[in-house]
Every structure is written in C-alpha cells, then in structure tokens.
Amino acid sequence: MTAKAFQQDFQVIQSFYNHITALSASPKAIWWLIGIAVAEASVFPIPVDVLLIPMLLARIDRVWMTAFVCTGASVFGGVLGWLIGAFLMAHVAMPIAHFYHADQRIFALETLFRKYGVWIILGKGLTPLPYKFVTLAAGAAHFPLPTFIAASLLTRGARFFLEAALIRMFGEKVRSFIERRLALVLMGALLIIVGGVVLVECL
C-alpha cells in the first residue's frame, strides 16, 4: 500500500467519520445507527461507536434501549458478514478485503478461526478492531453459526452496554475515556476471562 493510497483512503474515511458524527443530531438517528451497525459488521470501515456515543450523550434517558438496538443491529450485520464469507467468499468477501488492503488479514483470521474458534470473536468483538473482518473470516472458516451469534451477542453487547453505563453514570466527562481507552479496559477484561478459563482447566 503506497503512501498516496493510504492518504486517499484516510481522507475518505475521515469524511465518512465527520458525516456520521453529525448524524447523531438527526431526528432519524436511530435508523442511521441501525444501518451503520449492520454495515460496520460486514462492509463499513468506521466503528459504529462514533455515532453511538453522541447518541447516548444526547438521550441519557434512553441509553439502555439505544445500546440494545445497536447490539441487535451489529449482530445481524455480523450474520450477514458470516453468510458473505461462507457463500460469497471469492465474489464479495475478497473484493471487500482488497478494498481495505486486508486480503492477507482475512486469510490469517480464517486460519486462526480454524485453530482457536470462539476466542477470536471474544478478542475482536470487544475491541474497535474491524469486526467485519472477523465476520467474513468466520464464515469462510464455516465456524458454527449458532456459536458465532452467541459469542457476538456477548462481546458486542458487553461493549455497547458498557459504553451506555459509563455515559449514564458520568455523561460528557467520560467521553474522552471511552473514545481513547475503552479498548484497553475491554482487552484487560478479556485477559482476565482467558486467565480464569486457563486456571480452571489447570486445576
């Protein structure tokens, strides 16, 4: 990937980012949230959090419902991504990956899915790392769909409801923390979970 190509991609993504953030004030914001959450889990380059956080701040009295809607839409989008990876790998999934210069990442994730399974969803689903690559790779590896849905509900729900809880408790004051450091907190929680499982298996 050349520096010029990277700069062009960055400018496109930055333009999307600015536009999406502005949508939080729209009367139809909830529908935008659903659409972006679905797309982000299968084809879209920007995490849905950039719209979710301003929406949570705008309607603190509805944070739980907003998080619930976002979780459902994200998991539905994940299922679409799984189906694309499983049945349209060559014609749809790989062109999507190529557009984001992530061809090798898809193949690497597919290999990891075959080896580690649900732990890949737990690791990627909690973080702002591109969830769409996880969903496409899970489908390509034909990872069991019911398990994929259950793990996605757990991880995406944990992320969005934690954001809702922090906004509910602290409001605007916690926005910077969520945007910059929430991923570290979630990764720490994941390490604790993994450590607990390993400990139980060793006993």
Q: In 106-120, which positions are buried (b, 16+ CB within 10 angstroms) versus exposed (e)?
A: beebbebbeeebbbb
| Segment 118-152, tens digit of pLDDT | 777 766 655 555 778 888 888 888 889 998 999 88
Compare 9 and 182 and report the one with higher pLDDT. Answer: 182
Whole-number Å distance between alpha carbons of 133 and 88: 14
pLDDT tens digits, residue range 41-62? 877 767 788 788 888 888 888 8
pLDDT grade for 18, boundaries at 50, 70 and 90: low
- pTM for the full model? 0.73
- Reported as a pLDDT band with limits 50, 70 and 90, residue 198 is very low
What are the two backbone dihedrals, phi and then psi, of residue 127, each rounded to the nearest 5 degrees? -105, 170
Q: Are 78 and 131 in contact (CB under 8 A)?
A: yes
| Phi then psi dihedrals of residue 130, to 5 deg | -55, 105
* Cβ contact 164:182 at 8 Å: no
Predicted confidence (pLDDT) per residue in 105-114, tens digit: 777 777 777 7
Which run of H or of E encompasses 121?
helix 118-125
Report the alpha-carbon distance of residue 134 to residue 35 in Å, rounded.
19
